[in-house]
Amino acid sequence: MMILEPDMSIPMDLLGVGLIKISDLNKGGKIKIIYQTGIGNQLIQKIININKEKVLVNKQGFLIDLISNYTVYIHFFDNKLKEINIIIYLDKKKSILKFSKFYYISKKLNEALCSKISFSEIQQICEQNFKIPKSNSLLALLIISTSGPLLFSKINNKKKKLANFELQISGFISALLTFTKEMIGQEPGIRLKEINFGNQRFYLTLKNDVVFAYLVEKEKISKIDKRYMQLIPDEFIDLFQDEVNPQTFNGEVSQFKKFGSIVDNYFII
């Protein structure tokens, strides 16, 4: 009997995707996050911790779980190298499973992980097959070292005038943080400090001596905005952990420009 492949011409709507590899299976399993978008480190760790025993025992299979307000689909494969590849799909709580599509993409991603292709190729597969919802409420994003330098900025096209003042703004925020580090906190959770700035409002959070400042209009931010404001620091630090270390930072900021493509995954700006 011929089995038809599902129509993959239209990307699937999801809240997030994570690719994880578990090695050292005889020693309880060592977890490595290979790729993630729309799903943070803390949630990935929580999902793995809850389902790790089932994954290690069965080594291959499909699990469905409900965590917080999300439905989580977990597809895992024994890659024959004493490792297990795991693909996590994060969706709305009342989502309807499109199993044929999930299976087809999971198989494709597993083959990619086994063939050890580049990170950019894995990213391309995910971008072609999944669509993460984007927020259009952000006016500007500034990423600033607590030592002073503006590492990265992205300004809404409709607010070009703001670009002329971004260096002054970054200096203002950096100086302010001298007094507010304890108020914001170093934890990766969504502990945001609000600051009024004219007709707009800044939301600030701090991670690894890096300030993440989100400028929005004076209105209540949505749940998806808060979730993305938590994901941005996770992904920035994962990508540039060594580069932003105060002891090794050389002052070169052009290396951070490539982070713009990650911001574009979450915000229309």
Q: What is the mean pLDDT of residues 19-33?
A: 87
Q: Which of 115, 215, 86, 100 is nearest to 155 (CA)?
A: 215
Domains within the chain, CATH numbers bracketed: 12-131 (3.40.1840.10), 138-266 (3.30.450.70)
Task: Count the helices and strands in the chain (H runs, E runs).
Answer: 7, 12
- Which position has the token pair 């490792």? 83
Yes or no: say if 254 and 223 are a contact pair by the CB < 8 Å rule: no
- Summarised one tens digit per residue, pLDDT across range 87-126 is 999 998 776 667 778 888 899 899 988 887 888 888 888 8
Reported pTM = 0.80
Complete DSSP assignment for 25-63 = GGGT-EEEEEEEESS-HHHHHHHHHHHHHHHHHHSSEEE
Query: How would you classify the pairing of strands 130-131 and 12-13?
Result: parallel
Given a cut of 80, whether residue 183 has pLDDT beyond it is: no
Mean pLDDT, the chain, whole residue set: 82
What pLDDT score does 237 carry?
A: 92
- Which position has the token pair 């600051």? 195
- Summarised one tens digit per residue, pLDDT across range 124-171 is 888 888 889 999 888 889 898 877 788 998 987 666 566 566 556 666
What pLDDT score does 85 carry?
A: 94
